[in-house]
Amino acid sequence: MGYLTTHVLDSAHGCPGENIPVSLYRIGSDQSRELINQTVTNNDGRCDQPVLATEDFKKGVYELVFSVGDYYRGRGVALPEPAFLDEVVLRFGIADEAEHYHVPLLISPYSYSTYRGS
């Protein structure tokens, strides 16, 4: 069985994104959102456990929501109100229940990037 992990890197400060709240939603065929998990990144910018473990890992559409505005405010970064990026929402599909899906996030106060990692 597969599983889902994530990792946050703060490219503005050149360090892992520590203590960033992360929420995972499953998206229904009617576009409804079901909260599956909430966690916080550790000092390495990773979550201590898979965001979606093997027993719940199913084919479908998901959203990872990262609270990056709170993270930057906590670092003392002066953000405009409203912040350009407050929550980063990544919608992606899981097509193969046997694979490991890794969804990294690279952030700064004004940009982000993601990809399917390994």
Known binding residue 62? Answer is no
- Determine if residue 7 is labeled as part of a ligand binding site: yes
Q: Is 116 known to sit in a ligand binding site?
A: no
Q: What share of the chain is helix, strand, coil (3-state, %, to 5)?
A: 10, 45, 45
Q: Which tokens in the block code for residue 91?
A: 């919608």
CA distance 61 to 36: 12
Binding residues for substrate: 7, 46, 115
Binding residues: 7, 46, 115
